[in-house]
Structure 1
C-alpha cells in the first residue's frame, strides 16, 4: 500500500514523502526585495512537516512582468545570501527545493510584451539565455533544480501552444518545433549544471485550435527527450475538466501520461485530505501529488497528518490567496 509519507525516489532526488509543496505568490518581502523573518519561518515549517519536495514561490525574469509585484525576485543584491539560507533550511530537513520560474511577459529589447510570433531568432536566444542564467542563479543559491512553468497561461505556455504560435520557422508548426525553445534550454542546463529540471504543463486548454490531451502528451515526450527530469500537471482555471465521477480534474488524463513517459509525473489539482490522496495513490499509477493553498492556510499541517495517520486541510478553497495574489491566508493568519 502506498502512502503520502513513503520515502521514494524522484528522478535523481530522494524524497521522504510523496507530497510536493508548490509555491505561488510572495508578498512578505521587505524593502529592496530582501526576505522577511516570516518567509524563513514559513520554509522551516513546511520543510520540517513531512513534505517530500518543495517548489518555491514564483520567480519572474523581469521587474516589469505582470506578476512581478507578487513574485520573488532573482535580481536583488541579497538573493544568493537569502536563498542559500532557504535552501539550507530545506536540506537540514532532508527536503530538496526547486526554484520556480514563471513569467507572463517577455521584453526582447524592442517590445516589452513581445509574443511568440514577434520574437526574432535573436530575441529567442536572449530569452533562452535569461532562463539559463536564472537556473545558474538558483544553482549558486543552493537549489537542487529549476521548475520552468510552461503551464497555466504563462509566456512559454503560449509560445508552445498552436493557438498562439503561428511561426513558420524552426520554432513554429509541429510540436517538436514549438517546444524547441524549451528543449534547447533544457539541454544546456543539463549539460552545464547539476540541476533537476522540472516542467509544468497543462493537460489541455479547451481553446479551439489549442492544446488537446494528445498534444499535451506529445509535448511531454519532447520535454523528456530533451532531458527534463519531471513533469507537473497544472491548468488554466477554466480548463478544469471533470468526467462526472472523479474529484480530481486531472485523473482522466494522468495515468495515460504516466504510461507514455518514463520520468516522474506530479499530479496537481485540489488535494485536501489524506484519505482521498492515499486512495488516488493506491488506485492509479500516480506516485507524487502537489498541494499549494493548504500550505498557505497552515504551513506545517502535514506534521499533524503524519502524527495522526489522517487529516483534512483547514484550507476552504476560497481561492482568495491566489486571486488576490498574496502569500498569506485571508482566514487563518
Structure 2
C-alpha cells in the first residue's frame, strides 16, 4: 500500500490516511456571530465524503477581537458548541476525523473594535495600530485558548491545532520582528516562546487528545526568526508533549514570496529530522505522486492539502487513481467510483 493511504495514529486517534484538509478561512459567518452556517456544513462534510483522513476547520477565534474578520468562525461562547458538534457528527459519518484550529489574529484582525498585539506596531500602513497587551490581557487570552479547547472537547473534535503561524497573535509573540516587549514575554527566544508555552500548558489542563501547532518556519525578512530559532521552538514543543508541528511559512510582516511546488517542505523535513517530532507538510502540494514522495522520503508524516481540495473535494480519489491505489467509496457513490 502507498504511504499516503496508510493509517497513522496520534495519541490514540487513528487517521485512515495521511491526507489533511488544510484550515482555510471561508469568511462566511454573515451574521457575524461566529456560528456554523449551512455553507460550512456542506463545505467540510463534502471533503469527508471525498475521503480526506482529517478535516481541519478554518482558524476559529477564541475571543471576538481575535477574529481575522467579522465573518470568521468562533469558539468564544458556549452558543458555538452546538453547531460545531453537529458538524463533527456529519464528518464522522464518513470515517474522517475532525480537527479545529484555535486562533487569535492579534494585530492582523480587520475589525471595528480595538485589536491587540504584543507590541503596538501595525502590520502595514493600511492596518489599524494595535494596543500592546498588558499582563492581564495576556492572562485573559491564555484562559480564552483554554476555554476554546474545553468547548472543542464538548463539540466532539478529535484533534486541536493551535495557530502559531501566518503572523497572527502567537506568531507575533514568537517573532523578533513583531515582539518588541521588554518584559518576560519579549527579547530572548526563550521569552518570546513563553506565551505559546503557557497557551499549550493551559490547553493541556483540559485536553488530553492529539495537540498540533502550526508555525511559520520562514519569515522571509531580515531580522526574523532563523531556522535555528524554529528548531529551538520545535524542541520546546516536543518537550511539552505536542504531537505534530504543521509547517507553513510567511505572514509575519509584508514580504515578497515566490512559491513553487513544495516550497515549504524542506524546512518541514529539517524540523522532523532534527527535532525528532512528527510534522505536516503544506504548500502547493497538488498531486498524489508529489504527496507520496514527501511521505516515502520521510520528509513529513502528513500532507496538508488546501487549494487543490477547494478545486476538487474528491482529491483523495484522484490521488489514489494516480498512485494505482484502491480507495473505498462512500456507499452512495460506489456506482461511479471505479
Displacement of 1:276: 1.7
Measured on the aligned residues, the alpha-carbon RMSD in Å equals 2.6
Q: CA deviation at 1:287?
A: 2.1
- Paired residues for 1:212-227 under 5 Å: 212-227=226-241
Decide whether the 8 Å contact of 2:98 with 2:157 is kept in 1. Answer: yes
Q: What is the distance in 2 between the residues matched to 1:29 and 1:57? A: 12
Contact 1:59 1:74 in 2 (8 A): yes
Q: For 1:29 and 1:168, locate their aligned partners in 2 and report how far apart those are by CA, in whole Å.
A: 38
Cα deviations by residue, 1:250-290 (Å, 9 ceiling, x for unpaired): 23322221112343200111111111221222234322110
Q: Which residue does 1:315 correspond to in 2?
A: none
In structure 2, relative to structure 1, the CA distance for the partners of 1:56 and 1:274 (3 Å cut) is same
Residue 240 of structure 1: how far off its partner (Å): 4.9
Aligned to 2:142: 128
Residue 112 of structure 1 deviates from its aligned partner by 2.4
Match of 2:310 among 272, 277, 296: 296
Deviation by residue 1:152-192 (Cα, 9 ceiling, x = unmatched)? 11111011112222323322222222111111221222232
Matches within 5 A, 1:112-261: 112-117=114-119, 118-236=132-250, 238=255, 240=257, 247-261=261-275
Normalised TM-score (structure 1): 0.82
Between 63-72 and 218-227, report the one with greater CA deviation: 63-72
Structure 2 residues without counterparts, runs of 5 or longer: 120-131, 326-338
The Cα of 1:239 is off from its aligned counterpart by: 6.6
TM-score normalized by structure 2?
A: 0.81
Given that 2:57 and 2:100 are in contact with CA atoms closer than 8 Å, whether structure 1 keeps it comes out as: yes
The answer for the alignment partner of 2:47 in structure 1 is 46
- 1:198-233 residue CA offsets vs partner (Å, 9 max, x unmatched): 111111202221111111111111122222221101
Aligned residues: 305
Q: Is the 8 A contact 1:10 1:264 kept in 2?
A: no
Offset from partner CA, 1:289-318 (integer Å, 9 cap, x none): 10111222222332343356469xxxxxxx
Question: Taking structure 1 as reference, are residues 204 and 239 closer, same or farther at Cα in structure 2, changes over 3 Å only?
Answer: farther
**Which residue among 264, 289, 293 is the counterpart of 1:279?**
293
CA distance in 2, matches of 1:33, 1:175: 34
